[in-house]
Structures are given as C-alpha cells and as structure tokens.
Chains A and B, each alone.
Chain A
C-alpha cells in the first residue's frame, strides 16, 4: 500500500526518465519475492515500423502505475497502439527500453515474459471451429513446457478466466459461430487465463455493441478493483477511458500531450488540442462527461473556441 502511494506520487510528480527508472529498480530489488503488483515502464521509447524512416513514437516515457489502470487515448494515428506494441515487445524499440519490474523485457525469455505480461491485440484470428474453451486453454501456453500436459493449475486458471470474462454460457460454442462481442469476451478470457501481472489491451471495446462494450469495461473494472493486475488499455472512447482509468495518457502525433488522473486530463482545452474538437466537459460523480459539439477545422478559426472554453471553464468552477 505504501508503495502504491509512493508510486503515485512519483509518477505524477515527474516525467524525468532517470527518476522513474531508478524507482522501478528500487521497487523490484526490494520486493522481488512478494511483490504483489508489477510495474511496466517504457523509457525514452523510439518506435517505428521497419520500412519507414520516421518514428511513430519519438522518445516517449510512460510508466504504468502498478495495480492500476492506465488508459492511452488519442485520435486515429496518434501512436497509441504502436506505443502499446512497443510495451508488449511486439515491436523492438529503436532506442530506449521497456522495463518490467526493473528488468528489460528484451533480455527476458519470451515465455517468461508471457507469464508476466499479456497482450490482447486489436484483431485476433482463430480457426472457426475451435471451441471457446480450447481457445482459452491456449492462454496457458507460456505456463507449459514443450511436452507438458495441462495441470490442475491450468484448469483452475481457465475456469477463473472464463468466469471472470462471463463466457460460461458460450464455453462449448465454436468461435466461428459467435458474434463479434462474444468473440471479444472469449479472447479476453484467453489473455486472462495467461494469468499475468500486467495486461495490455488494445482497443478492446472497438466495434462492439453497447452491451458488450459495457461487459468488457466491467471486466476491466473488476480487474482494477479486485486484483493487483497492472492494466494498460488503449481506448478510442475518451469518456469510457475516463470512467475506467486511474491514470490517463493522451497522445497526439506520437507524443504524449498530457498525463494524470482523468479529471486532470479530460479538459476542454485538451480535447481541443489533442482531438481537435469543441466539446463541453462536465465533471460528474462517475468521472468527466463529454458532450462533443463540433470538429475544429483549421488554423484560421482557433480564435473562437478558446473563448468558449474559457466561458465553459468559468461556468464549471
């Protein structure tokens, strides 16, 4: 508990890479054995896709607070998913490093990493005729040796994951016969079965109907409230992100524009700058509420909106 507070203080207080790195190492060295939560941090990350010269992310530092939910938000093409891929070792950084509890993930064995860090990709494919249960069992892959058979621990983890993801009723259905929302729940169950300390989710609610969006959010909320899993989630919907996250990070054009609690990040000014929209933000008990008004078009106009923001700000406070 003390560490949580410490981390919160430190990560909100500073952006300097050095401090964060040393914090991570100190925590891991001290608590390696009984550490309940894991810290994932990207340090001075430069990420690009091989054929291109321009990096998508150019030297950003991000610390996922242990045991909390960090949401990455930003417009299309802002580099949220790229950053997530970088954190998940799916993309090797040109520069900088990703540290999991102080250890560079690129020095870790792939299976060892997969036991600690899970990733749900944006698009997942599977054979149509595989059952949900069998799909979820694949989440146990990093826990099994080459010739090893499923153990009691595997069964337990799979059952837990299926219950948590609310997939009991579709357990024996074939994945090909499921709706998009049900498929997503099945995939979430699979990464949950992986039983990791850190979970990265890439737009888990996109393309889902409202019911399934809320289902997914509920799962993440459960993880936040009842477990020590560190979650980093990329979300399209900023309002959802604000409701779900302990910490939010806003990106635009590959650089981090703002970070902090949802209340700190979701402001009308930020929406104007990062998302290029005029919107009204209302602080409610369930977090900030956003009412999008209109898109901002080009450089000629910006005189008008700041006034509106100023007025709205005045009204709120």
Chain B
C-alpha cells in the first residue's frame, strides 16, 4: 500500500476508490482463510467422532452427500423446521445431530466476537467483553429464577397473580418487584427525557420477565397460557440480558453517559445480580437442576440442534449486518469522545445504537448456548493483532476468528473428556474457551508489547 502511494504522489488521490477494496487486505484474507481451515478441520472432527463412530472419509462423504446438500426439502426442514426427508443413517447422524452443533458454534462465535469488539470500541476499554454491561448477569439471574424458582409457567397479569392460591409469596414478591421496576424506570425516564423510552422498555421487559409466576390458578375469565420451561428459557435468558443492559444504561445516564460510567454501572448491576444468582443456587434441591443451571451459566452447546440455528440465525444476520455498517462509527469513536463530537457524531445516539447491536448479538448467542465466556474478550484482541485496528477489518476478522475459536473449543468440550477419561461426559464449552483462550491470551501478551491496546 505504501509503495503505490509514494509513487503516485499527491495528485489525484492515491486510494483505490472501489468500495470493498479493504476486504482484500492480505492480512485479513490470510486471517479469514486460516480461520476457515480451523473451522473445517474442527468441524470434520466433530462430525466424525462420537458415540456412533465413523471414519473421516465416511463422515466427509456424509457431509457432502448430494442427496442432502442439494435437497430442498432437507434445507427446508433444517432452516424452517419442516419435515425431514428420508436419508441414510450416517447422513442422518451427521446432518441432524453433529453438523447443527458446528453451525451453532459458528453462529455463537461470530456473535460473541463482534459483540465484544463493539463493546471494546464504545467503552474504549481493553477489558470489555459482550457481558460488560450486565448482559450475562441479567441472563444468568433469569436462568436461575426460571430453573430453580419456577417449575412451570403461566403467563398471567401480575395483579391477578396476587389472588392466586398457590405460590402466593413468590407471586406477590414478583409483582412488587415488577411494580417497583416500572415505577423506578419510569421515574428515570421522566427525569431524563431522552431516556423515557429506554426506561419504559426496561420496565416492561423487567416486568415481563416477572409476569410469569409459578403455577397459579387464575380467577375465572382469564386465559391461561402454559409453556414448558425448556421452550421459553432461551428467550427469557436473552430478554433478561437485554433488560439488565437497559437497567445499566439507565443507571449510567446522567446528562448523557460516558465509558467509565457505563462500565461502573455494569459492574454494579453485575455484582448485585451475581449475588442473587448465587443465592438462588441454595434453593435448588435437585442436582440435575444445578447442573443444568451451571451448563447455562458457563455456556454449553450440548444437545444443540437445527432449532437453535433457526432461533439464532435471523438475529445474528441482523447483528452482523449492523455491526459491519457501524464499523466506521466505531472507528471514529476510537478517536475519543471529544474528537467524535467535533466531527459531528451524535455520540449518545451512536453509542446506544451500537450497544444495542452488541447486546442483540450477545443475547442471540445466550439464547442458544448460554453464557460462553472469554470468546468475546479475546477474539477482538487476536483479530486486532492480525489485521490492525481498523474496525471494518476487525469486525470482518471477528466473523472468522470467533467461529474458529468456538468450533475448536467445542471439540474439546464434546470429545475432550472421552479422550482423557474414556467417558461419554461432555463439559460446557465455556470451560474449554477459558482453558484454551486463557493461555493463548497469555502467550500473545508475552509476545506482543502493545497487546491489549485498542
């Protein structure tokens, strides 16, 4: 790049004017290709091994099986949830059990990576992760509330819940929290006009989460909507995360906000919610429930299916598109608040919008995989190291490196215990991302002087 610029001088512009020319930066291309190679290799391992063992060749031929690959009905079933067509046993195992898990890992890796990258830009904080603004603690709390405190769901109006015969105490408590939540958030909104909408949405979400109260028999005339916990948990976890983020933003707001205020508010809300979450563990009387809660709060891909792909994909597509579109805003934001302002950026609007995108991505990944730590923190740093600090490249790089780390870590999560102890036990992928990512992060830190600088 430097050569051509020097040669051309300052005459008619030295830049290639084509819009996406930056995509062909060799460093970015190499990063993408390397990551794809990792994803393919790890994916191949994932589809080959397991309780039904097949050779790599068999697995590969099942993956590229044209009967499935080119079958419209099959894709219809995968992506839209239709009827699954007839296929061979190997193809069935690969395509309906093992591959979707790889796809979910790819989606989750992308989401967490771009979410972390965005949060690092808007907080200008090297330690920012997708969960810095309370998303994980809100989601974690809701997961615990649902799994431990609420055995079955009835969607009800909270005021009516008070008259219920069962679960009176919890119902009453939830109603009080909801009322205070509405009042508090509304008060915030009235005080700070710009935040009125945020306050209200926060109140509704916070309230909505508590609207569901345990098995109450309702007065006659009110329809009951019952859901199985498992179908609603992902959505509730994601909504809990989003609600916590809104609460954090409302707390941090005082005539506008600042990175430091946001991070502090995130830490405060996170601490409170974490405490509540830990407290709830004591009320769990079933080891199975505790394990399920742990799997959710450390992040696990066990048992993920095409359904998870269907659930996360639309939101992820939206988040990815918006993240790429917002990359230039991130770049300007990195020049500091004052410069961004003097360049005409409406900094509060942009910051909130970008946070929204990042939270959306994080929530989508929480809904399908729980709270997978570390990926969102470390991947943006790895990418910056590989492609430089231009956020357009960082975001695109994250779309490749995130999945690579996630898919590779999931190999360890799914098969690691089998290799070590010979058991079929799967461990949460969040454990492996920490175990793999931590040392790698350390290695980068030792090797690179300016590691961590944004």
Contact pick for B339, options A124, A128, A162, A171, CB 8 Å: A124
Closest approach, in angstroms, between the C-beta of A162 and any C-beta of chain B?
Answer: 7
Q: Which of A10-18, A36-44, A112-120, A203-211 touches B?
A: A112-120
Does A155 contact B453, Cβ atoms closer than 8 Å? no
Chain B hits for A112, CB < 8 A: 344
B54 to chain A, nearest CB (A): 46
Tell me if B339 and A127 are in contact (CB < 8 A).
no
What chain A residues lie within 8 Å of B345 (beta carbons)? Answer: 110-111, 141
A17 to B255, CA, bound (A): 29
Separation in Å of the A166 CB from the closest CB of chain B?
Answer: 11
Find the residue from B1, B9, B255, B341 having the highest chain A CB count within 10 A: B341
Specify the chain A residue showing the minimal Cβ separation from B326: A146
Q: Is A133 an interface residue (CB 8 A)?
A: yes
Q: Give Cα A30–Cα B343 distance, bound, in whole angstroms.
A: 28
Query: Judging by beta carbons under 8 Å apart, are B10 and A163 in contact?
Result: yes
Q: Return the chain A residue nearest B389 by Cβ.
A: A127
Q: Are B343 and A125 in contact (CB under 8 A)?
A: no
Closest to B13 in A: A155
Among the stretches B107-115, B327-335, B367-375, B439-447, the one at the interface with A is B327-335
In B10-28, the 8 Å CB interface with A consists of 10-15, 17, 19
Q: Find B388's partner among A118, A119, A129 (CB 8 Å cutoff).
A: A129
User: CB-CB < 8 A to A142: which residues of B?
Assistant: 343-344
B2 near A: Cβ within 8 Å?
yes
Structural contact, B389 and A129, CB atoms closer than 8 A: yes
Any B CB within 8 A of the CB of A50: yes
Report A-chain residues with C-beta under 8 Å of the C-beta of B454. Answer: 127
Tell me, in angstroms, the Cα distance from A227 to B14 when the chains sit together: 25
A93 an interface residue at 8 Å Cβ cutoff?
no
Determine if B225 is an interface residue (Cβ-Cβ < 8 Å).
no
Contacts of B19 in A (CB 8 A): 149
- Interchain Cβ contacts within 8 Å, total number: 95
Central interface residue in A89, A156, A172, by most chain B CB within 10 Å: A172
**A-side contacts of B2, CB under 8 Å:** 172
Instruction: Give the CA-CA distance A57 to B19 in the complex, in Å.
Output: 47
In the bound assembly, the distance between CA atoms of A191 and B17 in angstroms comes to 22
Question: Nearest chain B CB to A222's CB is how many angstroms away?
Answer: 16
Evaluate whether A88 and B342 lie within 8 angstroms (CB atoms) in the complex, with A127-B334, A128-B450, A146-B325 already known: yes
B58 interface residue, CB < 8 Å from A? no
Residue of B nearest to A168 (CB): B10
Enumerate chain B residues within 8 angstroms of A121, measured Cβ to Cβ.
Answer: 336, 338-339, 342
Given the complex, which residues of A lie within 8 Å of B450, measured CB to CB? Answer: 128, 176
Interface centre among A113, A130, A163, by most chain B C-beta atoms within 10 angstroms, is A130
A90 touches B5 (CB 8 A): no
Given contacts A50-B255, A88-B342, contact A150 B17 (CB under 8 A): yes
A141 contacts across to B, CB distance below 8 A: 328, 332, 343-345
A186 to B19, CA, bound (A): 24
Q: Give complex CA distance A26, B450 in Å.
A: 55
Please tell me if the beta carbons of A194 and B453 are within 8 angstroms of each other in the complex: no
Chain B residue, CB-CB nearest to A108 = B344
Instruction: Given A152-B13, A155-B13, check contact A113 B389 (CB 8 Å).
Output: no
**Shortest beta-carbon distance, B193 to chain A, in Å?**
15
B11, chain A: closest CB distance, angstroms: 8
Whether the Cβ atoms of A124 and B17 lie closer than 8 Å is: no
Partner of A128, one of B5, B10, B389: B389
Pick the residue among A113, A128, A147, A155 that contacts B17 (CB under 8 A).
A155
> Taking A50-B255, A110-B344, A110-B345 as contacts, is the C-beta distance between A138 and B332 under 8 angstroms?
yes
Chain B positions 26 through 52: 1 when the CB is less than 8 Å from some CB of chain A, otherwise 0: 000000000000000000000000000
**Chain A residues positioned under 8 Å from B12 (CB to CB):** 155
B346 on the interface (CB 8 Å rule)?
Answer: yes
CA distance A150 to B13 in the complex (A): 11
Contacts of B14 in A (CB 8 A): 133, 159, 171
Cβ of B6 within 8 Å of any chain A Cβ, yes or no, is: yes
User: What are 30 of the A-B contact pairs (CB < 8 Å)?
Assistant: A90-B341, A110-B345, A112-B344, A113-B344, A114-B343, A114-B344, A115-B344, A118-B342, A121-B339, A121-B342, A124-B336, A124-B338, A124-B339, A125-B336, A126-B334, A127-B389, A128-B450, A129-B388, A130-B389, A134-B390, A138-B332, A138-B335, A141-B344, A146-B325, A147-B325, A150-B17, A155-B12, A155-B15, A168-B9, A168-B10
B interface residues (Cβ-Cβ under 8 A, vs A): 1-2, 5-6, 9-15, 17, 19, 255, 325, 328, 331-332, 334-336, 338-339, 341-346, 384, 388-390, 450, 453-454
Residues of A within 8 A of B (CB): 50, 88-90, 110-115, 118-119, 121, 124-130, 133-135, 138-139, 141-142, 146-147, 149-150, 152, 155-156, 158-159, 162-163, 168, 171-172, 176, 191, 194
